[in-house]
Amino acid sequence: MAIVKTTLNLPDLDRQFMDGLVASGEFISSSEYVCNPVRRDREQRTEVEAIRAKLIKAEQGGFTSQSREEILAEIKGKARHNQP
């Protein structure tokens, strides 16, 4: 995966907060701190798309007797169970 340098403008208070987290060792760098929520958002969106695809397939294909709500509840339950 290529790394691309990006400029990020932050208010002083936010930069100080981020620098404090890096200094405490919670994050190895300010880049890692910024990448963390981006990574979580990407993962969440991927999960939402998988849920949407399964719901559409279920509605169109009739491969299950579960309702949309039951399928969604099952997937959410599995996702909660698999979270660290």
Residue pLDDT, tens place only, 30-80? 999 999 999 999 999 999 999 889 888 877 876 677 888 888 898 888 888
Position 84 scores a pLDDT of 58
Position 83 scores a pLDDT of 65
Residue pLDDT, tens place only, 1-31? 788 888 989 999 999 999 999 999 999 999 9
Q: Where are the domains of the chain?
A: 13-82
Position 62 scores a pLDDT of 67
Contact 65, 33 (CB under 8 A): no
What is the maximal distance between C-alpha atoms in the chain? 55
CA 33 – CA 27 distance, rounded (Å):
6
Contacts 24+ apart (CB under 8 A), 30-35: 34/8
Of all helices (H) and strands (E), which one includes residue 53? Answer: helix 30-61
Contact 60, 54 (CB under 8 A): no
Confidence of residue 82 (pLDDT cuts 50, 70, 90): confident
Position 59 scores a pLDDT of 77
Position 40 scores a pLDDT of 94
